[in-house]
């Protein structure tokens, strides 16, 4: 494998310039020299953002698992591919070599086939962070089935919505999962979800917690038994470059979650290239990303990116606070982790605890620290730098999205400078731009605007499953001819980017994207609720937390408000998941509306953030009187 790692700022600059001046030649070279292809492409790139349509490496044929597994077997067969660290620190770590991973993926792929799954079928994966999660993802890719991983913290309703949206024929789950001291009945959640799903034919169940669960005759099968009967080699399916690799759902500001579709070749090339560069991974390093594979960070930077580079990647089943708040550091010491990648919410939560939690742990193996998921505040950045990196590890503040597939803006360690709260400079191949509210591109520096990307990059999502119109509307209509990210950003005097946050109705809570509309819909399902509006407000650990304004029906007057609050949060937990619960619920006599009946979230947001003296002109509202009442009763 030739080395596509950039070393030094001068190399970054020339590489970046080439990627902008001659993007096709740039990606042609990277793709040619660093991957295994069954057939080379006819064209590097074909694109039209007005349709929008983007195709990379058309005409090429490949299988991503040959790149993530098979090609390493000769030189790295005995190297650890996956280092599995269980929830319970007294349970043994598993070292899964590339040879073992190969056998497990091949067997699993044969199990999928023998259960009727073929190329193009959708398979839903609802598993905890155990090796089977990575193995099942790769097994799907081996046979060309499209995986749709659903984070195992989502409720049964959220799960069934996602299964039905993409007509999954199979669900892969486990008898349960561990989370700190608790166990969660995942199979029970699947059973409940499947009451609403008619297309699912088979449920494969991995044993993890050995609980006594119901197996539905003819539908449910124990994974371990199936694997035992499967052969250890499965020929990789040849995939076209633009064949879908996976669907991953992300919240929009309105309506259903969006099933972002990622395709094979471009996604592989870009995640591999950025993994190598952003983390400056060296052959014998141990890399650990604490995300869940249920999110894009886990797909791109636990599974595909690291494995395509023949890396050792850690999969951690537990939580940062079990059995105590030193767990992350115990794992860093135990496995001599070299690159550590986590989210600002985890950093803030750990920074709140005593530094005693770090006491005695040797963190000297660390070389690079990463953060992702939301803007990192200055205090958390410095805590991370001083206490974890001991001021010798560059912090890569990586900005990207489910839709972008891979990291687009980030420092490269020892190449580009770091600057607290800044994602800094675009990676090669990324052409960011800022636009003002009139749709005019802002030229020059020291500016703030809506962040857009002007040119395609290989790992961009190609569509929303079953709804290309929505894809166009959401990403390509606000600023015609460019991809709109939904984020605001500023560009400083050095051209460094700082992401300022979402400019739409998506709120990021503990690094999870939550659309306001689905949560409001869930609240409105409560029989005593008339209407509701959700806004975000600053929170020490979560970054943002949710504040709900709820207008009740008259019948509710006799009820205890705290009971109603509990019921509303239960409603949200049932319909979406615990991650979407509200921190504060204020009951109101009405919600401020424009004359056309639109709820003025801007005013509600300011009140929730304590900026009550700064509400602007409210005289044009349909019902300005409700604002006084809301201000007086703010929580
Ligand atoms: C936010 C996660 C500031 C941003 C990979 C984006 C960030 C959304 C950063 C995507 C960062 C992600 N600094 N904000 N380094 N990284 N975001 O789809 O608002 O879960 O649009 O993908 O998270 O979240 P998603």
Which CATH number is 528's domain given? Answer: 3.30.300.30
Distance CA 369, CA 381 (A): 10
Q: Does residue 387 form part of some domain?
A: no
SS3 helix, strand, coil % of the chain, rounded to 5? 35, 25, 40
Burial readout 388-424 (b: 16 or more C-beta within 10 A, e: otherwise)? bbeeebbbbbbbbbbbbbbbbbbbbbebbebbbbbbb
Q: Can you give the pLDDT at residue 256?
A: 85
Q: Is 299 in the pocket of ligand 1 (CB under 6 A)?
A: no
Alpha-carbon distance of 534 to 545, in angstroms, equals: 10
Which residues are CB-contacts of 272 (< 8 A; sequence separation ≥ 6)?
34, 35, 67, 304, 305, 308, 309
374 lines ligand 1 (CB under 6 A): yes
Position 177 in a domain: yes
User: Which pLDDT belongs to residue 518?
Assistant: 85
pLDDT given at position 113: 98
Selection from 152, 257, 144 nearest residue 208 by Cα: 152
User: 371 CA distance to ligand 1 centroid (A)?
Assistant: 10
**What tens digit of pLDDT does each residue of 68-127 get?**
999 999 999 999 999 999 999 999 999 999 999 999 999 999 999 999 999 999 999 999
Query: Which protein residue's CA is at the shortest distance from atom 8 of ligand 1?
Result: 401
Evaluate: CB of 252 within 6 angstroms of ligand 1. no
In a domain, 34, yes or no: yes
Count CB atoms within 10 A of the CB of residue 322.
16
Residue 516, ligand 1, Cβ within 6 A: no
Residue of the CA atom closest to atom 15 of ligand 1: 399
CA-to-CA distance for 579 and 474, rounded, in angstroms? Answer: 24
pLDDT value at 38 more than 90: yes
- What mean pLDDT, rounded, does the chain reach? 95
Q: Is residue 401 within 6 Å of ligand 1 at its C-beta?
A: yes
Residues 452 and 525 in one domain: no
Q: Express each pLDDT in 526-551 by its tens digit.
A: 999 989 999 999 999 999 999 999 99
**Pick from 314, 347, 353, 355: nearest CA to 332:** 314
Atom of ligand 1 nearest to the CA of 410: 15
453 lines ligand 1 (CB under 6 A): no
pLDDT of residue 593: 86
Q: Which residues contact 437 (CB under 8 A, 6 or more apart)?
A: 450
Domain boundary among 489, 522, 550: 489
CB neighbours of 473 closer than 8 A, spacing ≥ 6?
none
Domain end marker among 455, 489, 523: 489
Same domain? For 187 and 72 the reply is: yes
- Residue whose Cα lies nearest atom 13 of ligand 1: it is 375
Are 555 and 293 contacting, i.e. CB atoms less than 8 angstroms apart?
Answer: no
Give residue 17 CA to ligand 1 midpoint distance, Å: 25
At residue 1, the pLDDT reads 43
pLDDT of residue 201: 98
Nearest Cα residue to 262 out of 403, 130, 54: 403
Distance 375 CA to ligand 1 centre (A): 7
Q: What angle separates helix 23-34 from helix 264-279, to the nearest 10 degrees?
A: 90
Least Cα distance to 387 among 314, 319, 329, 325 occurs for 329
Of 418, 45, 464, 393, the closest CA to residue 242 belongs to 45
**Which stretch of 130-144, 178-192, 499-513 has the lowest confidence by average pLDDT?**
499-513
Torsion, CA 49, CA 55, CA 57, CA 59, rounded to 10: -140
Boundary of a domain, candidates 489, 521, 544: 489
Ligand 1 test: best mutation among 371, 400, 507, most atoms within 8 Å of CB? 400
The pLDDT value recorded for residue 271 is 98
**Is the minimum distance from the CB of 397 to ligand 1 under 6 angstroms?**
yes
To test ligand 1's pocket by mutation, which of 407, 513, 544 has the most ligand atoms within 8 angstroms of CB?
513
425 Cβ partners below 8 Å, 6+ apart?
12, 16, 409, 410, 411, 416, 495, 496, 497
Pocket test for ligand 1, best of 373, 484, 579 (most atoms within 8 A of CB): 373
376 Cα nearest atom in ligand 1: 13
469 and 568 together in one domain: no
Alpha-carbon radius of gyration of the chain: 24
Same domain, yes or no: 456 and 518: no
The predicted pLDDT at position 504 comes to 84
How large a percentage of the chain has pLDDT more than 70? 100
The tens digit of pLDDT for each residue in 341-359 reads: 999 999 999 998 999 999 9
pLDDT at 92: 97
CB count within 10 Å of CB 66 equals: 18
CA–CA dist 111, 229 (Å, integer):
8
φ and ψ of 129, to 5 deg: -80, 75
In a domain, 546, yes or no: yes
468 and 594 fall within a common domain: no
Ligand 1 lined by 372 (C-beta under 6 Å): yes
* 285 C-alpha to ligand 1 centroid (Å): 26
How many whole angstroms separate alpha carbon 89 and alpha carbon 138? Answer: 27
Task: Write out the two tokens for 610.
Answer: 């304590």
- CA of 399 from ligand 1 middle (Å) equals 6
For residue 214, with 0-12 CB atoms within 10 Å meaning exposed, 13-18 middle and 19 or more buried, which class applies? exposed
Are residue 516 and residue 467 in the same domain, yes or no? no
Cα(422)–Cα(184) distance, rounded to whole angstroms? 38
β-sheet bridge partners, residue 587: 550
d(CA 201, CA 464): 24
Residue 502 is predicted with a pLDDT of: 87
User: Length of the chain, please?
Assistant: 635
pLDDT per residue over 391-445, tens digit each? Answer: 999 999 999 999 999 999 999 999 999 999 999 999 999 999 999 999 999 999 9
For 68, the 3-state DSSP assignment is helix
Q: Are residues 574 and 427 in the same domain?
A: no
pLDDT in tens, 274-315: 999 999 999 999 999 999 999 999 999 999 999 999 999 999
* Structure confidence at residue 612 (pLDDT): 85
**pTM for this one?**
0.93
Atom of ligand 1 nearest to the CA of 501: 19
Distance CA 354, CA 48 (A): 53
Is a pLDDT exceeding 90 seen at residue 599? no
Residue 510 Cα to ligand 1 midpoint, Å, equals: 11
Given a contact cutoff of 8 angstroms between Cβ atoms, the answer to whether 312 and 79 are in contact is yes
Side-chain half-sphere of 107: how many Cα atoms within 13 Å? Answer: 18
Please tell me the distance between residue 178's alpha carbon and the centre of ligand 1 in angstroms: 27
Instruction: List the CATH number of the domain containing 430.
Output: 3.40.50.12780
367 lines ligand 1 (CB under 6 A): no
Answer whether 373 contacts ligand 1 (Cβ < 6 A). yes
Same domain, 462 and 564: no
**Distance between CA atoms of 543 and 250, rounded to whole angstroms?**
19
> What is the Å distance from ligand 1's center to 481 Cα?
22
Same domain (yes/no): 157, 53:
yes
For residue 117, what pLDDT is reported?
A: 98
Please name which of 254, 8, 257, 70 lies closest in space to residue 154, comparing C-alpha atoms. 257
Nearest residue (by CA) to ligand 1, atom 3, is 375
Task: Judge whether 444 and 301 are in contact, CB under 8 Å.
Answer: no
Nearest ligand 1 atom, CA 403 = 18
Q: Are 12 and 283 in contact (CB under 8 A)?
A: no
Number of domains in the chain: 2
pLDDT at residue number 492: 97
Residue of 168, 106, 174 lying closest to 138 (CA atoms): 106
Under 8 Å between Cβ of 416 and 9? yes
Tell me: do 465 and 531 sit in the same domain.
Answer: no
Task: Return the HEC string of 449-469.
Answer: EEEEECCCCCCCCCEECCCHH
For residue 513 and ligand 1, the question of a CB distance below 6 A is answered with yes
Mutate which of 154, 405, 430, 499 for ligand 1 pocket (most atoms within 8 A of beta carbon): 499
Beta-carbon neighbour count of residue 46 at 10 Å? 14
What does the pLDDT read at residue 615? Answer: 84
What's the 3-state SS for 165-177? HCCCCEEEEECCE
| 296 C-beta closer than 6 A to ligand 1 | yes
Q: Are residues 415 and 540 in the same domain?
A: no
Whether residue 53 lies inside any domain: the answer is yes
Specify the ligand 1 atom closest to the Cα of 397: 15
Per-residue pLDDT at 601 exceeds 90: no
348 lines ligand 1 (CB under 6 A): no
The range of the structural domain enclosing residue 607 comes to 510-632
Please work out whether the CB of residue 343 comes within 6 Å of at least one atom of ligand 1: no
Do both 537 and 464 map to the same domain?
A: no
Domain-located, residue 343 = no
Backbone φ and ψ of 67, nearest 5°: -80, -30
Judge whether 357 lies within some domain: no
Average pLDDT over residues 123-152: 98
- Whether residue 459 has its Cβ less than 6 Å from ligand 1: no
Cβ(300) to ligand 1 under 6 A? no
Give 242-264 pLDDT, tens digit per residue. 999 999 999 876 778 999 999 99
Measuring from atom 12 of ligand 1, which residue has the nearest CA? 373
Pocket of ligand 1 contains residue 301 by CB under 6 Å: no
Q: Residue for token digits 């974890």?
A: 388
Atom 11 of ligand 1: nearest residue by CA position: 399
Residue nearest to atom 22 of ligand 1 (CA): 401
HSE-CB for 218 with a 13 A CA cutoff? 2
Residue 294 in any domain: the answer is: yes
Reduced to 3 states, what is the DSSP secondary structure of residue 300? helix
Half-sphere exposure for 194 (CA within 13 Å, toward CB): 23
CA atoms within 13 A on the CB side of 429: 25
């Amino acid at each position: 494998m030739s080395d596509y790692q950039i070393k030094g700022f001068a190399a970054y600059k020339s590489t970046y310039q080439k990627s902008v001046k001659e993007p096709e030649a740039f990606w042609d070279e990277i793709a040619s020299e660093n991957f295994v292809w069954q057939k080379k492409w006819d064209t590097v790139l074909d694109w039209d953002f007005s349709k929008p349509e983007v195709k990379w490496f058309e005409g090429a044929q490949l299988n991503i698992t040959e790149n993530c597994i098979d090609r390493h077997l000769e030189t790295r067969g005995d190297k650890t591919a996956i280092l599995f660290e269980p929830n319970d620190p007294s349970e043994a770590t598993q070292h899964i070599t590339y040879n073992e991973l190969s056998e497990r993926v091949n067997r699993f792929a044969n199990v999928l086939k023998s259960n009727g799954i073929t190329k193009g079928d959708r398979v839903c994966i609802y598993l905890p962070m155990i090796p089977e999660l990575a193995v099942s993802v790769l097994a799907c890719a081996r046979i060309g089935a499209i995986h749709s991983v659903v984070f195992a913290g989502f409720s049964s309703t959220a799960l069934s919505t996602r299964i039905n949206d993409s007509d999954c024929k199979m669900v892969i789950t486990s008898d349960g999962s561990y989370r700190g001291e608790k166990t969660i009945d995942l199979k029970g959640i699947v059973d409940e979800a499947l009451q609403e799903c008619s297309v699912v034919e088979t449920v494969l169940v991995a044993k993890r917690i050995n609980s006594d669960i119901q197996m539905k005759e003819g539908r449910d099968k124990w994974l371990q038994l199936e694997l035992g009967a499967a052969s250890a080699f499965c020929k990789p399916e040849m995939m076209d470059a633009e064949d879908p690799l996976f669907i991953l759902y992300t919240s929009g500001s309105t309506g259903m979650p969006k099933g972002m579709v990622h395709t094979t070749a471009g996604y592989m090339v870009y995640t591999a290239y950025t993994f190598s560069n952003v983390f400056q991974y060296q052959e014998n390093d141990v890399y650990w990303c604490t995300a869940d594979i249920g999110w894009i960070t886990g797909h791109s930077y636990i599974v595909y990116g690291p494995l395509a580079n023949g890396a050792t990647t850690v999969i951690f089943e537990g939580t940062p606070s079990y059995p105590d708040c030193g767990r992350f550091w115990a794992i860093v010491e135990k496995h001599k982790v070299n690159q550590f990648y986590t989210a600002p919410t985890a950093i803030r939560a750990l920074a709140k605890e005593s530094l005693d939690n770090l006491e005695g742990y040797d963190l000297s193996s660390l070389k690079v620290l990463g953060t992702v998921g939301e803007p990192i505040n200055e205090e958390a950045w410095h805590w991370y730098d001083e206490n974890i990196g001991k001021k010798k590890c560059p912090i890569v503040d990586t900005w990207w999205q489910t839709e972008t597939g891979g990291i687009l803006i980030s420092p490269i360690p020892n190449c580009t400078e770091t600057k607290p709260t800044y994602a800094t400079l675009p990676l090669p191949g990324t052409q960011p731009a800022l636009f003002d509210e009139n749709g005019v591109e802002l030229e020059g520096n020291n500016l703030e605007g809506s962040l857009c990307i002007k040119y395609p990059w290989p790992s961009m999502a190609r569509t929303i499953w079953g709804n290309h119109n929505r894809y166009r509307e959401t990403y390509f209509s606000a600023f015609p001819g460019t991809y709109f990210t939904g984020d605001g950003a500023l560009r400083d005097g050095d051209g460094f980017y700082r992401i300022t946050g979402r400019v739409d109705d998506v709120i990021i809570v503990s690094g999870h994207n939550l659309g306001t509309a689905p949560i409001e819909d869930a609240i409105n399902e409560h029989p005593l609720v008339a209407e509701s509006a959700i806004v975000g407000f600053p929170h020490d650990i979560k970054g943002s937390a949710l504040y709900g304004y709820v207008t009740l029906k008259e019948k509710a007057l006799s009820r205890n408000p705290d009971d109603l609050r509990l019921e509303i949060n239960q409603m949200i937990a049932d319909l979406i998941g615990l991650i979407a619960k509200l921190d504060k619920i204020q009951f109101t006599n009405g919600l401020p509306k424009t004359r056309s009946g639109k709820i003025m979230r801007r005013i509600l947001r300011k009140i929730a953030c304590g900026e009550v003296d700064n509400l602007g002109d409210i005289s044009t509202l349909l019902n300005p009187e409700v604002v006084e009442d809301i201000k007086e009763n703010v929580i």
